[in-house]
Amino acid sequence: MSRTVHLKVNGQPHDVSVEPGTMLLYVLRDNLGLHGPKFGCGLSQCGACTIHLNGQAIHSCVLPVEAAAGHEITTLEGLGTIDRPDPLQKAFIDEQAVQCGYCINGMIMTAKALLKAKPHPTRDDIKQALDGNLCRCGTHMRIVRAIERAAKAGEPA
């Protein structure tokens, strides 16, 4: 039996009709048409589905939509636009940190939360923060350099 859940995503209110226990990732992608968060593993192990819930990076593939109601949800789409990318997104572009791009949503969303909590992280801080995000292409060092670039630029998180 469907029920209506009230969500605030990227600053916009949404009412969605969903089955109880539906994971937030599916609502974001299927109901709201947001394709930044990706389905990778469905087990909270790869990080492709990372979003911000009240500014904290979380894996949306294991979060029931009901648990997100009443909280501020931010997806990759809420950070910047093609014409005006977020400074962190710009750093990823400048470092050519993307190869296949599947993991980049999680990498950027995790890095954004890190830079908000720690504006000048060490390389070890960055690697530790990204520990829950997997990249099969091997662009890890470019990803780390992009985060270092954004931190060095001192752009607001």
Is the pTM value of this prediction over 0.85? Answer: yes
Task: Give the pLDDT mean for 69-95.
Answer: 97
| The Cα angle at residue 37 between residues 31 and 43, in degrees rounded to 5 | 100
| Closest listed residue to residue 32, CA positions, set 71, 99, 63, 78 | 78
Task: Give the pLDDT mean for 32-39.
Answer: 98
Which residues, 6+ apart, have CB-to-CB distance to 65 below 8 Å?
A: 5, 7, 16, 18, 22, 23, 24, 27
Task: Give the pLDDT mean for 56-73.
Answer: 98
Q: pLDDT category, 154, cuts 50, 70, 90?
A: confident
User: What pLDDT, on a 0 to 100 scale, did the predictor assign at position 138?
Assistant: 86
Query: Domains in the chain and their CATH numbers?
Result: 3-78 (3.10.20.30), 87-153 (1.10.150.120)
Which residues, 6+ apart, have CB-to-CB distance to 137 below 8 Å?
A: 99, 100, 103
Per-residue pLDDT tens over the stretch 94-151 = 999 999 999 999 999 999 999 999 999 999 999 999 999 999 888 999 999 999 999 9
The percentage of residues in the chain with a pLDDT greater than 70, rounded to a whole number, is: 98
User: What pLDDT, on a 0 to 100 scale, did the predictor assign at position 156?
Assistant: 56
CA gap 127, 107 in Å, rounded: 11
Sign of CA dihedral 37, 39, 43, 47: negative
Render 93-143 in DSSP notation, one character per residue: HHTT--SS-TTHHHHHHHHHHHHHH-SS--HHHHHHHGGG---SS--HHHH
